[in-house]
Structure 1
Amino acid sequence: MERQVTAPEVIGPEVTGPEVAGPEVTGPEPFAAPVRGGELAGGQWRADAPGTPILAIHGITASHRAWHHVADALPDRRIIAPDLRGRGRSADLPGPWSLREHADDQVRVLDALGVDRALVVGHSMGAFVAVRLAAGHPDRIAGVVLVDGGLPIPPPEGLAPDEVAAAVLGPALVRLEMRFPDHAAYAAFWAAHPAIGPAWDDRVADYVAYDLVGTAPALRSSAVPAAVAQNVLELDGGDGYAEDLASLAAPVDFVRAGRGLLDQPKALYPPDRVAAHAARLPALRVTETSGLNHYTIVMSDAGAAQVAAVVRPHPA
């Protein structure tokens, strides 16, 4: 059921002016790559930078604009960031939207942009795509960095498949069914988000503005609920995923956010779960962060600096 949000219902910091319309920020340059069913959209920063490019893969309801801060933290690197099938300007591409489909789309992106090999950096669900990509196409990958994602997440016990997405994603999934009267209402919704609001800046505002599609007064997120629901069921390590992860060559970097999706103290990956994965995966190299949540680990200067510190030692 769609939920209509009117301006008085939105609670949080007032967001007006240029931030609402989508401010001018540095980059990225848009691209389109031919894939099954059409073209995959995305953006890249510094297309002429020398060295091995970075392929940056966003999270389950995000878009390539989530990488603004990381791109700024790596000013000498080429960064290629697609909108995954079913999100952003790739939202109209047909399903299925499986992790393997997403990985195949990334190969098409590299082909279209003339890239032989890339360092793949994935955030959240994008880290799972990175693992599928590296396992299925090792000749195209120069290294793997998993940012608060990519390690299997066991689903809550006793839930039917159609209940798992709501249990795992919570408000992130509810947002996809909401409708907003204008850009100001959507910006105010995000500015009130406990994980994003305190980190608000022009790059976050651009990310939010880019995500809003449709026609007023029924604007909505670009993410396709069916695509999100399919992908959340694939995060448990099944269908050969755990084996793909174990097959990756060392090192595989994992960067853990210490706080959760709503900035709560309980993180998406508790330390004991990460330690258990590390004990089973000799290739895994864990980096702990502090004071960062699942969003700000990439969508803030502090988080981007820590991700960049992990990326830089990989050969460029």
Structure 2
Amino acid sequence: MQTLTFRVSGGDLTALRFGTGPRLVLAVHGITASGMQFRAVARHLPADWSLLALDLRGRGGSDTMPGPYGIDAHAADVCAVARQLAAPVVLTGHSMGAYVALRAAVTAPGLVDRLVLIDGGLPLPAPTGVDPDQVLHAAVGPALARLRLTFDSLDSYLAHFRAHPALSAHWNDDLDAYVRYDATGVPGAIRSRVNADAVGTDGRDVIARAASFGDDLLRWAVPSSLLYAPRDALDREPGMLPEPVVAHWVGATRLQAELVPGTNHYTIVLADGPAQIIADRLTACTDEARTP
């Protein structure tokens, strides 16, 4: 793994590069995650591929980057990085990162050879009259609560993750590396490197502007892939993307959807078997990706 920085508006964005191959995947993580989320996927790429995983503003190595936050701001950062790579990329995003990747693709379509959405990217309108903060809390409440906590040691921080209902049965070296990368602080005050204010802004943006992502899907006329999990962020059924929502957008666009069995919202990228499936879809032949 190589740590790189890219100049974007307001400062330098951190990215993690896995592999040395000339064909490139540009990956965008979820709302409380970091680029380390894609370590397992990167390991399964063919030798002629590499994966560049961004740390979005307020996360990982970009935790001190100032705002603005929100989907448009993150998409602008993705486009800025893609331009500096000087070649079209395969673009992917998980969860909130899928919305960012979709927005970046429609903003600068010439930068993207192929778009792969992972358990995100589809509009999920909130019930009428419900405060977006209530919806946000229902969706990522436990993850938000973690951002306010401090821990006595790195071991206790790891133990907190290992007890998570979506992760406990799937713990592996990639999850261990992911948590270690997220941790910062001194013994007695270990905490996450994720900025809670950034998470709040980004989450409210996804909820309040849900319809705009439907517009993006209709504008993006290139065949694209969606991989989604049958279980949610707490390992419960149904998943984050209900089947009727998936079916609607598959019927309305050129999106091809694939359920990844036995996965939840996190393990779809962090577990070994699903990571192999995602790597295979990311590196599928791009020559026909833009065929009308």
* TM-score over 0.5 for the pair: yes
Does the alignment pair 1:272 with 2:244?
A: yes
**CA offset digits 1:149-202 (Å, max 9, x no partner):** 000122245432333321221211111111111101110001111111222112
Does the alignment pair 1:36 with 2:16?
A: no
Residue of structure 2 aligned with 1:87, choices 59, 80, 93: 59
Partner AA of 1:169 in structure 2: V
Question: What is the CA–CA distance in structure 1 between the aligned matches of 2:185 and 2:131, rounded to whole Å?
Answer: 31
Question: What is the CA–CA distance in structure 2 between the aligned matches of 1:155 and 1:221, rounded to whole Å?
Answer: 28
Classify the secondary structure of the residue corresponding to 1:186: helix
Question: What is the CA–CA distance in structure 2 between the aligned matches of 1:287 and 1:269, rounded to whole Å?
Answer: 12
Question: What is the CA–CA distance in structure 1 between the aligned matches of 2:285 and 2:138, rounded to whole Å?
Answer: 36
Q: Report the counterpart of residue 213 of structure 2 in structure 1.
A: 241
**CA offset digits 1:12-31 (Å, max 9, x no partner):** xxxxxxxxxxxxxxxx2100
Q: Report the counterpart of residue 82 of structure 2 in structure 1.
A: 110
Q: CA deviation at 1:280?
A: 2.0
Residue of structure 2 aligned with 1:255, choices 198, 213, 227: 227
Q: CA deviation at 1:141?
A: 0.5
Question: What is the CA–CA distance in structure 1 between the aligned matches of 2:147 and 2:264, rounded to whole Å?
Answer: 21
Does the alignment pair 1:175 with 2:185?
A: no
Question: What is the CA–CA distance in structure 2 between the aligned matches of 1:196 and 1:215, rounded to whole Å?
Answer: 25
Classify the secondary structure of the residue corresponding to 2:122: coil
Question: What is the CA–CA distance in structure 2 between the aligned matches of 1:294 and 1:239, rounded to whole Å?
Answer: 22
Residue of structure 2 aligned with 1:195, choices 166, 177, 183: 166
Q: CA deviation at 1:111?
A: 3.5
Q: CA deviation at 1:234?
A: 2.4
Partner AA of 1:95 in structure 2: G
Higher helix share: 2
- 1:94-105 to 2 correspondence within 5 Å? 94-105=66-77
**CA offset digits 1:123-166 (Å, max 9, x no partner):** 11100011110000001010100000000122245432333321
1:164–1:232 Cα contact (<8 Å) kept? no
Classify the secondary structure of the residue corresponding to 1:233: helix
2:71–2:206 Cα contact (<8 Å) kept? no
**CA offset digits 1:229-259 (Å, max 9, x no partner):** 1111222454733212211122111111011
1:165–1:173 Cα contact (<8 Å) kept? no
Q: CA deviation at 1:66?
A: 0.5
Q: Report the counterpart of residue 290 of structure 2 in structure 1.
A: none
Which stretch of structure 1 is more off in the superposition, 63-72 or 207-216?
207-216
2:123–2:211 Cα contact (<8 Å) kept? no
The alignment covers a number of residue pairs equal to 285
Question: What is the CA–CA distance in structure 2 between the aligned matches of 1:229 and 1:138, rounded to whole Å?
Answer: 28
Classify the secondary structure of the residue corresponding to 2:274: helix
Partner AA of 1:221 in structure 2: S
Residue of structure 2 aligned with 1:284, choices 251, 255, 261: 255
Percent identity of equivalent pairs = 36
Q: Report the counterpart of residue 25 of structure 2 in structure 1.
A: 54
**CA offset digits 1:251-293 (Å, max 9, x no partner):** 1111110111011122111111211222222x11011111011
**CA offset digits 1:1-40 (Å, max 9, x no partner):** xxxxxxxxxxxxxxxxxxxxxxxxxxx2100111122110
Residue of structure 2 aligned with 1:225, choices 196, 201, 204: 196
Question: What is the CA–CA distance in structure 2 between the aligned matches of 1:198 and 1:260, rounded to whole Å?
Answer: 15
Q: Report the counterpart of residue 12 of structure 1 in structure 2.
A: none
Cα 1:157–1:188 change in 2 (3 A) is farther
Residue of structure 2 aligned with 1:64, choices 35, 38, 52: 35
Q: CA deviation at 1:71?
A: 0.5
2:28–2:98 Cα contact (<8 Å) kept? yes
Question: What is the CA–CA distance in structure 1 between the aligned matches of 2:286 and 2:211, rounded to whole Å?
Answer: 32
Classify the secondary structure of the residue corresponding to 1:78: strand
Residue of structure 1 aligned with 2:125, choices 142, 145, 154: 154
